[in-house]
């Protein structure tokens, strides 16, 4: 017990200088839907921040596509931020928002499975390899910098092949979230005879059976909702600041992707008018699965001081993320948006009940029927491009 406490104290000591930098204030710090009082809950706040999965540049992984880059340093920051947002969704999906992480403490097996989804290997479903190659279908060469909307479209396509997490990924178009379309997509379950015949991973059986009534209802596919926005022309319009901050207060919050031109950050909360973010711009060595099947997770949690920036310095191109494990979570989110976002004269985005009549018909994306050898997760982007059932719309400038 003493050793656990000493490790915890050491972890807090690392943040000592950072704590002194915070202003002496009674203001609340908001981190992904949870509030912390700075004066009395500093250690709790820092523990909450360090529990988020932190993905950075890596080097010495196998070349992307066999002959491509073996490091994403200098170009992969937005992809890493997309990984962080998705990883937070998966943590909420399997472990809950209140789950916490401690160094060298044994974690649930679902945690290890989540981590392995993001390893820098071509056969991991959300690896830098899969994301970079899927970006080719979005007009991005391997090694080219992504914007928030491109990352969202790539995650939407890759999720079609991810049966264990079974997420419905909705990326809004034209600054508009359509309730009817989301309900249609999340109530569409892949219960074909072929899928039913496949045996799900043991961990999935264990996690759904052991949690009883709290497990996901079979009538609702857990929702990852991404809202790409442009909140100004060359810089963020101050009229959007309050609404933007409100999104971090929502229990469904997954934060935001954004930053500065060609410099992406994962924003997880705010204090006053300063955004708190995790920074992917550190290059670490590739980490692979160990012989016992686990991953050494020491380099996947940021124990350094999280950084802050004034919200008005944010590039206007951003993407908000939200996770709704059950339908009631989505209904609650809609109510919060009506109350906090739609009250503004110049709205950050729109929430409508019905599919706009001038849009193409909405067809929920489905996993394409393809024959693979099982040697790779996805052989090429062509499989998804051929079966992509939604048109990707560029976000209109405001």
Task: List residues with catalytic annotation.
Answer: 77, 279, 281
Joined tokens for residue 96: 């809950």
Strand partners, 258: 265
Residue written as token pair 């955004």: 275
C-beta pairs of 369-377 under 8 Å, 24+ apart in sequence: 376/122, 376/123, 377/122, 377/123, 377/124, 377/125, 377/130, 377/161
What is the DSSP pairing of strand 223-230 with strand 168-171? parallel
Residues with Cβ within 8 Å of residue 49, at least 6 apart in sequence? 31, 268, 276, 302, 306
Residue 8, number of CB atoms within 10 A of its CB: 15
Cα angle 321, 143, 158; round to 5: 45
User: Measured in whole angstroms, how far is the alpha carbon of residue 85 from the centre of its chain?
Assistant: 2
What is the full DSSP assignment across 247-310?
HHHSTTEEEEEEEETTEEEEEEEEETTEEEEE----EEE-----TTS----GGGB--SPPEEEE
Cα torsion 341, 344, 349, 352: sign: positive
Outline where 211-258 has alpha helix (H).
241-249
Q: Cα(345)–Cα(310) distance, rounded to whole angstroms?
A: 23
CA-CA distance, 141 to 137, in Å (whole number)?
9
- Which residue matches tokens 């901050």? 245
Is the Cβ–Cβ distance between 88 and 114 less than 8 Å? Answer: no
**Complete DSSP assignment for 107-155:** --HHHHHHHHTTSSSTTSTTSHHHHHHHHGGGT--TTPPPPHHHHHHHH
């Amino acid at each position: 017990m003493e050793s656990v406490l000493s490790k915890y104290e050491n972890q807090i000591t690392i943040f000592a200088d950072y704590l002194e930098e915070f202003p002496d204030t009674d203001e609340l710090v908001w981190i992904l839907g949870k509030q912390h009082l700075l004066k009395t809950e500093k250690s709790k706040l820092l523990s909450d921040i360090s529990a988020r999965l932190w993905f950075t540049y890596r080097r010495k992984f196998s070349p992307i596509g066999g002959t491509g880059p073996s490091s994403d340093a200098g170009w992969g920051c937005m992809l890493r931020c997309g990984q962080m947002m998705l990883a937070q969704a998966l943590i909420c999906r399997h472990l809950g928002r209140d789950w916490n992480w401690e160094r060298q403490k044994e974690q649930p097996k679902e945690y290890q499975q989540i981590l392995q989804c993001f390893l820098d290997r071509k056969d991991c479903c959300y690896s830098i390899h899969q994301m970079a190659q899927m970006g080719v279908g979005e007009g991005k060469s391997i090694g080219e910098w992504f914007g928030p909307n491109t990352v969202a479209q790539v995650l939407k396509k890759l999720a079609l092949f991810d049966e264990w997490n079974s997420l419905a990924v909705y990326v809004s178009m034209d600054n508009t979230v359509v309730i009817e379309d989301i309900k249609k997509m999340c109530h569409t379950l892949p219960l074909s005879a072929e899928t039913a015949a496949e045996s799900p991973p043991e961990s999935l059986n264990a996690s759904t059976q052991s949690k009883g009534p709290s497990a996901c209802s079979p009538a609702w596919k857990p929702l990852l909702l991404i809202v790409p926005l442009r909140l100004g022309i060359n810089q963020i319009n101050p009229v959007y600041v309050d609404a933007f901050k409100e999104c971090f207060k929502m229990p469904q919050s997954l934060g935001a992707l954004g930053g500065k031109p060609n410099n992406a950050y994962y924003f997880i909360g705010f204090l006053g008018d300063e955004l708190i973010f995790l920074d992917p711009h550190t290059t670490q060595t590739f980490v692979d699965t160990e012989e016992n099947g686990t991953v050494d997770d020491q380099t996947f949690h940021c124990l350094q001081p999280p950084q802050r920036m004034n919200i008005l310095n944010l590039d206007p191109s951003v993407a908000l993320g939200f996770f709704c494990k059950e339908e009631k979570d989505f209904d609650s989110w809609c109510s919060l948006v009506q109350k906090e976002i739609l009250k503004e004269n110049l709205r950050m985005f729109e929430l409508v009940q019905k599919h706009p009549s001038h849009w193409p018909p909405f067809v929920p994306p489905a996993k394409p029927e393809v024959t693979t050898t099982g040697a790779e997760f996805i052989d090429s982007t062509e499989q998804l491009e051929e079966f992509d059932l939604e048109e990707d719309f560029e976000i209109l400038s405001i």
